[in-house]
Amino acid sequence: MCGAAASATTAPAILVYGDSLSAAYGIPQSKGWVTLLDERLKQRSSNYTVVNASISGETSAGGAARIDKTLAASKASIVIVELGANDGLRGLPVEQMKKNLTAIVQASKREGARVILVGMQLPPNYGVPYINTFRAAFRDVALDERVAFVPFLLEGLDKREQFQADGLHPTAAAQPILLDNVWRKLSAMVVLPPR
């Protein structure tokens, strides 16, 4: 009886572990896709809580350095890893990014969490060899670690007006598209009450 009562009060957590694309950079926090995810879960009478531990400017190395502490604080049952864009924009070694992402995924799995790895792509001006290697890195980590994979967070954003002035960060109006891209994988993981 105690166990049932305890589990009823401990809502499972979904940890979003990302960079500015998940931290609602340049738009109101309430309009970001992570807040929209929280709202969607509430609309479906879900008892999941959403913890956003995303930091603008974060690299995969920064994420790897703080993952253990973040997992301990969040007690997440699902971890959405959305890191790597800043590695790419800075031209950092892809092999090192893969090691960092693998470390984050493995740490999450050790804590019993299911993981969704979110992929990223770079603009063509970074050169074909680098952008191809970069894009493939996310798929490789997801396959190696056997975790769910969203190939590209910004899939479907193909108009200039869907981005802020910097050309990198989606507008508030584009955030529901980001949510839907993640939701396609997440919906199979969350246990929702019958509608």
User: Which of these is catalytic: 7, 19, 20, 45?
Assistant: 20
Beta carbons of 69 and 108 less than 8 angstroms apart: no
Residue 1 has a pLDDT of 34
**Residue 94: which CATH number?**
3.40.50.1110
Residue 60 has a pLDDT of 98
Residue 147 has a pLDDT of 98
Name the CA dihedral angle for 30, 74, 63, 137, rounded to a multiple of 10 degrees: -90
Residue 192 domain-assigned? no
Q: How far apart are CA 25 and CA 167, in angstroms?
A: 13
Residue 76 domain-assigned? yes
Residue 191 domain-assigned? no
Residue 3 domain-assigned? no
* pLDDT at residue 136 tops 90: yes
Question: For the chain, what is the domain count?
Answer: 1
Give me the amino acid identity at 84.
G
Q: How far apart are CA 64 and CA 175, in angstroms?
A: 26
For residue 46, what are its two tokens?
Answer: 């879900």
Residue 112 domain-assigned? yes
Q: How far apart are CA 115 and CA 56, in angstroms?
A: 21
User: Which of these is catalytic: 19, 77, 87, 169?
Assistant: 169
Q: What is the pLDDT of residues 149-190, one digit of tens each?
A: 999 999 999 999 999 999 999 999 999 999 999 999 999 999
Q: Among 129, 114, 119, 52, which residue's Cα sits nearest to residue 84? A: 119
Domain limits for position 125: 10-186
To 5 degrees, how large is the angle CA 100–CA 36–CA 52?
A: 35
- pTM equals 0.93
Please compute the mean of the pLDDT values over residues 53-73 and round it to a whole number.
98
Residue 194 domain-assigned? no
Which of 96-103's residues contact partners 24+ apart within 8 Å by CB, and which partners? Answer: 96/60, 96/61, 97/60, 97/134, 97/137, 98/137, 98/140, 98/141, 100/59, 100/60, 100/61, 100/63, 100/64, 101/60, 101/64, 101/137, 101/138, 101/141, 102/141, 102/144, 102/145, 103/64, 103/67
Mark whether 169 is an active-site residue.
yes
Residue 195's pLDDT band (cuts 50, 70, 90): low
Residue 23 has a pLDDT of 98
Q: What is the pLDDT of residues 5-20, one digit of tens each?
A: 334 447 899 999 999 9
Q: What is the pLDDT of residues 75-131, one digit of tens each?
A: 999 999 999 999 999 999 999 999 999 999 999 999 999 999 999 999 888 899 999
Please compute the mean of the pLDDT values over residues 56-72 and round it to a whole number.
98
Residue 69 domain-assigned? yes
User: Which of these is catalytic: 7, 54, 166, 180?
Assistant: 166
Mark whether 144 is an active-site residue.
no
Residue 117 domain-assigned? yes
Residue 192 has a pLDDT of 73
Q: How far apart are CA 87 and CA 130, in angstroms?
A: 12
Residue 191's pLDDT band (cuts 50, 70, 90): confident
